[in-house]
Amino acid sequence: MKSIITVKNIKDYLTKNQIKYTYIGNDSIIINTFCSLYQLKDNSITWARKVSNVNFETLNEYDNIIIVLGEEVEEQKLNGFIVKNPHRTYFKILSYFFEEQPVIKIHPTAVVETNKIGKNLSIGANSFLGELVELGDNVRISNNVSIEGNVKIGDNTIIESGVVIGVSGFGHYKEDNSVSVRVPHLGGVIIGESVAIGANCTVARGCLGNTVLEDYVKIDNLCHIAHNVIIKTRTMITACTEISGSTTIEEDVWVGPASAINNGIIVGKNSFLGLGTVATKDVPAGKVVAGVPARVLRDNNE
């Protein structure tokens, strides 16, 4: 993290990353922190999705604020970058200038039984990796993570604290006396590149095949991914979601918080499941669905 950041520093970063911008205001401003639009600070950088969200009178009460906007503003005094996508650009700036990079090390309390590990790893305190686990390069594993069985994790993946990967799934058959007996789970888990798994999630291994999380999948905190689930690329699973066994979630799906998805169904690509959705049957591609049980509300045009 840099302690002093100039307008030129930000311009150089945007130019290097081929992000087109227009800068309006004072080039001599210096910032050293960041803030939200609703908790403004002196010497900071903030952003707004819409100009209509900005109270310029309040903004101008603070010294040396830079704002990232998606459209130009007439007849307003401000210091700001005008870009096509202010949300993305602002958080790229914060990641580059303010985010602390993880220390590349394996904590002395971590138990790492596997030798199939890539370069530049970070493994936190009290984490366990079994002998069959394979890790790619630049994988970051936080504290108290347990990964066991036949699990393969791709490059640049982040696994937050408390995650459990590779446990047996919840599959049973009944004996003649109606006693339930667990089905052996002989498969594994395959996790692609640049996946993020939030704190205290569980990902069960497959029964006969594998549970699969493809590249760029993002999973929020407190989610459960059951056995044989396939989640395809760029899908977003938000907090407290439960995905039952043998479900397939296709590309570019958004699953809203506290959703539940029944076993064995298909959630079509580019669909959007709203808050608390209970999906009991297949979700058509390209639709917004919500409710208990889920029903189609409209096309997903986002």
Residue 130: closest CA among 107, 144, 148, 118:
148
Buried b / exposed e along 269-284 (16+ C-beta atoms within 10 A): bbbbbbebbbbeeebe
Asked if 83 contacts 70 with a C-beta cutoff of 8 angstroms, the reply is yes
Question: What would the pLDDT profile of 163-181 be if each residue is shown by its tens digit?
Answer: 999 999 998 989 999 999 9
Residue 93: closest CA among 194, 197, 37, 15:
15
Helices 86-97 and 7-16: crossing angle, nearest 10°? 110
Cα–Cα dist 18/88, whole Å:
13
| Rounded (10°) CA dihedral 236, 240, 246, 249 | -20
Cα–Cα dist 284/250, whole Å:
10
Q: Please state the rounded mean pLDDT for residues 204-228.
A: 97
Residue 243 has pLDDT above 60, yes or no: yes
What is the distance between the terminal CA atoms of the chain, rounded to a whole angstrom? 34
Asked if 21 contacts 82 with a C-beta cutoff of 8 angstroms, the reply is yes
Location of structure tokens 């044989």: 228
Residue 213 is inside which H or E element, if any?
A: strand 210-213
Q: Please state the rounded mean pLDDT for residues 71-94.
A: 90
pLDDT of residue 73: 81
pLDDT of residue 295: 97
Asked if 76 contacts 55 with a C-beta cutoff of 8 angstroms, the reply is no
Q: Which class in CATH covers the domain with range 111-299?
A: mainly beta
pLDDT of residue 1: 56
- CB-side neighbour CA atoms (13 Å) of 90: 22
pLDDT of residue 104: 79
Q: Kindly indicate the confidence band of residue 283, based on its pLDDT and cuts at 50, 70 and 90.
A: very high
125: its two tokens: 């305190």
Residue 286 has pLDDT above 60, yes or no: yes
Active site residue 172: no
Residue 32: closest CA among 76, 69, 70, 63:
63
**DSSP secondary-structure letter at 50?**
S
Residue 221 has pLDDT above 70, yes or no: yes
Q: Is 13 helix (H, G, I), strand (E, B) or coil?
A: helix
pLDDT of residue 21: 96
- Which residue(s) pair with 140 in the sheet? 122, 158
100: its two tokens: 């602390």
More confident residue, 290 or 101: 290
pLDDT of residue 2: 62
Mean pLDDT taken over the chain: 95
Asked if 186 contacts 204 with a C-beta cutoff of 8 angstroms, the reply is no
Pairing of strands 248-249, 230-231: parallel
Pairing of strands 242-243, 224-225: parallel
Cα–Cα dist 76/81, whole Å:
14
Locate the domains of the chain by residue range. Answer: 5-97, 111-299
Residue of 87, 107, 224, 227 with catalytic role: 227
Going 261 to 263 to 268 to 270, the CA torsion angle's sign is: positive
Residue 31 has pLDDT above 70, yes or no: yes
Q: Please state the rounded mean pLDDT for residues 28-45.
A: 94
Question: What would the pLDDT profile of 108-134 be if each residue is shown by its tens digit?
Answer: 999 999 999 999 999 999 999 999 999
Instruction: Bin 43: left if φ > 0, else alpha if -120 < ψ < 50, else beta.
Output: left
Residue 165: closest CA among 118, 115, 202:
202
**DSSP secondary-structure letter at 152?**
E
**For 5-97, which CATH superfamily applies?**
MurE/MurF, N-terminal domain (3.40.1390.10)
pLDDT of residue 194: 98
Question: What would the pLDDT profile of 252-266 be if each residue is shown by its tens digit?
Answer: 999 999 999 999 999
